[in-house]
Amino acid sequence: MADSATTHPATKDPAKGPALLSAHSLARHGAWIALALLILFNLAFTPNFATWQTLNVNLTQVCAIVIVAVGMTLVIATGGIDLSVGSLMAIAGSLAPLIFMGKILPLPYALGIALAFVVPVLVAGAFGWFNGWLITRLRIQPIIATLVLFIAGRGIAQVMTNGNLQPFKTPEFQFIGLGRVFGIPFQAVLMIVIVLAAAWMLRRTVFGRQILAVGGNERAARLAGIPVVSVKRKVYLISGLLSGIAGLIVIARNSAADANLVGLGMELDAIAAVAVGGTLLTGGRATVIGTLLGALIIQLVRYTLLANGVPDAAALVAKAAIIVLAVWLQRPSQG
């Protein structure tokens, strides 16, 4: 895979003989192959598959997941996990309407809209930074540290809005979820920009290499002089910021913010996309493009099943099978 980046390939799979090579390369390109097969299957069997509408439906379903999953990829690359993403989406999603509807401060319309884009994302970022602080300063395991905000974060969003649905009709704000650029949904453009930026960063920048080094071997990274603490705080900050953006997209798309539902279960969707995409869950090897493919595969399988009359519940079982199969195929070979 083009952007697959590993710190120490030699230490990751030390006893990889030529016999394993074909299986290994199959695993590396598995995501592309699976996606291609899915598209071919749909072209052959699903009516009206090759239409703009199908593309748009699938893209809008997947954008928020991919944006969150990019942050999750970076977190997992350092050997961590972020369970709080869904709750942070709820916080950002609940805060934005409060701002542009003037419920906190009566603001001029345009300023309210502008702040509604900026402040919720920054707040979500601040909570993300707090996750990183807990993990690095108090040395709490990522799964527990982010569990705190997973539980409390949605509560904060619910308390802010008293649990009420906030419906709105604000085209300028909703551009982030409903707008189009040359016929392409704006959220898809945003998603692609974020994916490309993150993929470039992970592969081409010092920070990206540091992320992988921390995930590959934290002790070694520290001894090599890599600022482990600051790298970790930054990835959780990024994960928080991206969750905030995803929260805004979701409420803009729904024309309503519901603190009980925005981002519910998102942490699992994002982790599933990362796992299917071929990022190593123990850290040290990560691929942002793979995460995009993983999310597309999961979405396309669901769409294929639904379009061919399989109930949604059965699609859940299929999703479970895909996750296990993908992780099993891509597991690092046992030494």
Partner 1 sequence: MNNLNTLQLFRGIGRYGVLIALLLLILFGWLRYENFLGSFNVLTVLRYNSMFALVALGMCFVIITGGIDLSVGSTAALGSVVAAMLSPYGLVPGLLGGLLAGLVVGAINAFVITRLNILPFIATLATMLAASGCALLLAGNQSVSVSYDTAFIELGQGDVLGFPAPAWIALIAYLAGSVVLNFTSFGRTVLSIGGNEDATRLMGLPANRVKASVYMASGALAGLAGVILAAQFGAGQPIEGVGWELFAIASVVVGGTLLTGGVGSVGTTLVGVLLLGLIFNILNFENGLGWISLSAYWQSVIRGALLLVVVAVQAKLASRTEDAHP
- Strand ranges, E, within the chain: 5-6, 166-167, 180-181, 184-185, 256-257, 285-286
Q: Which residues contact 22 (CB under 8 A, 6 or more apart)?
A: none
State in angstroms the smallest separation of the CB of 217 from partner 1.
18
Q: Does the footprint of partner 1 cover residue 151 (CB under 8 A)? A: yes
Per-residue binding letters, 227-266, with partner 1 (x by CB under 8 A): -------------------------------------xx-
Per-residue binding letters, 177-216, with partner 1 (x by CB under 8 A): ----------------------------------------
State in angstroms the smallest separation of the CB of 36 from partner 1.
23
Q: Does the footprint of partner 1 cover residue 23 (CB under 8 A)? A: no
Q: Cα separation of 34 and 16, whole Å?
A: 24
State in angstroms the smallest separation of the CB of 22 from partner 1.
20
Q: Does the footprint of partner 1 cover residue 219 (CB under 8 A)? A: no
Of 24-32, 67-75, 137-145, 213-221, the window that binds partner 1 (rule: CB under 8 A) is 137-145
Nearer to partner 1, 234 or 319 (CB): 319
Q: Cα separation of 157 and 323, whole Å?
A: 31
Q: Cα separation of 58 and 306, whole Å?
A: 12
Q: Does the footprint of partner 1 cover residue 314 (CB under 8 A)? A: yes
DSSP string, 5-33: EES-HHHHSTT--GGGHHHHHHHHHHHHH
Strand partners, 174: none
Which residue in 107, 281, 306, 307 binds partner 1 (CB under 8 A)? 281
Of residues 261 through 280, those in contact with partner 1 by CB under 8 A are: 264-265, 268, 271-272, 275
Q: Which residues contact 185 (CB under 8 A, 6 or more apart)?
A: 56, 59, 60, 63, 178, 179
Q: Which residues contact 100 (CB under 8 A, 6 or more apart)?
A: 107, 109, 112, 113, 115, 116, 168, 170, 173
Nearer to partner 1, 94 or 187 (CB): 94
Of residues 161 through 180, those in contact with partner 1 by CB under 8 A are: 162-163
Q: Cα separation of 32 and 36, whole Å?
A: 6
State in angstroms the smallest separation of the CB of 303 from partner 1.
16
Q: Shortest CA distance to 276 belongs to which of 302, 298, 307, 247?
A: 298
Which residue in 91, 211, 241, 323 binds partner 1 (CB under 8 A)? 323
Nearer to partner 1, 128 or 153 (CB): 153
Q: Cα separation of 98 and 116, whole Å?
A: 8
Sign of CA dihedral 306, 253, 321, 151: negative
Nearer to partner 1, 17 or 311 (CB): 311
Which residue in 34, 70, 77, 81 binds partner 1 (CB under 8 A)? 81
State in angstroms the smallest separation of the CB of 328 from partner 1.
5
Q: Which residues contact 36 (CB under 8 A, 6 or more apart)?
A: none
Q: Does the footprint of partner 1 cover residue 154 (CB under 8 A)? A: yes
Pair of tokens at residue 121: 């994302």
Q: Does the footprint of partner 1 cover residue 31 (CB under 8 A)? A: no
Q: Does the footprint of partner 1 cover residue 306 (CB under 8 A)? A: no
Q: Which residues contact 168 (CB under 8 A, 6 or more apart)?
A: 97, 100, 101, 255, 256, 257
Sign of CA dihedral 119, 166, 265, 61: negative
Residues that bind partner 1 (CB under 8 A): 81, 83, 134, 138-141, 143-145, 147-156, 158-159, 162-163, 264-265, 268, 271-272, 275, 281-282, 311-317, 319-321, 323-324, 327-328, 331, 334
